[in-house]
């Protein structure tokens, strides 16, 4: 069973290139039972979307 560290790594990897089917499944499975990583995954998607449209403003994220 994948740990949060592994899940985060996959989320990061996914921004650069598509994951393999196996990686996608293990990530999805982890997200189903881990609220923290679900939220983290959402943040990754938001950042990725923002980065595609304009220069990311990383300073805006002072939550952690």
37 binds Zn ion (CB under 5 A): yes
> Which residue among 2, 34, 47, 50 contacts Zn ion (CB under 5 A)?
34
12 binds Zn ion (CB under 5 A): no
Under 8 Å between Cβ of 11 and 44: yes
Cα gap 5→37, rounded to integer Å? 9
Part in contact with Zn ion (CB under 5 A); list of ranges 3-11, 14-22, 43-51, 55-63:
3-11
10 binds Zn ion (CB under 5 A): no
């Amino acid at each position: 069973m994948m740990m949060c560290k592994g899940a985060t790594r996959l989320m990061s990897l996914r921004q650069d290139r598509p994951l393999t089917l196996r990686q996608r499944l293990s990530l999805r499975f982890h997200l189903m039972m881990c609220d923290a990583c679900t939220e983290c995954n959402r943040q990754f998607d938001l950042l990725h979307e923002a980065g595609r449209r304009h220069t990311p403003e990383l300073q805006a994220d002072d939550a952690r």
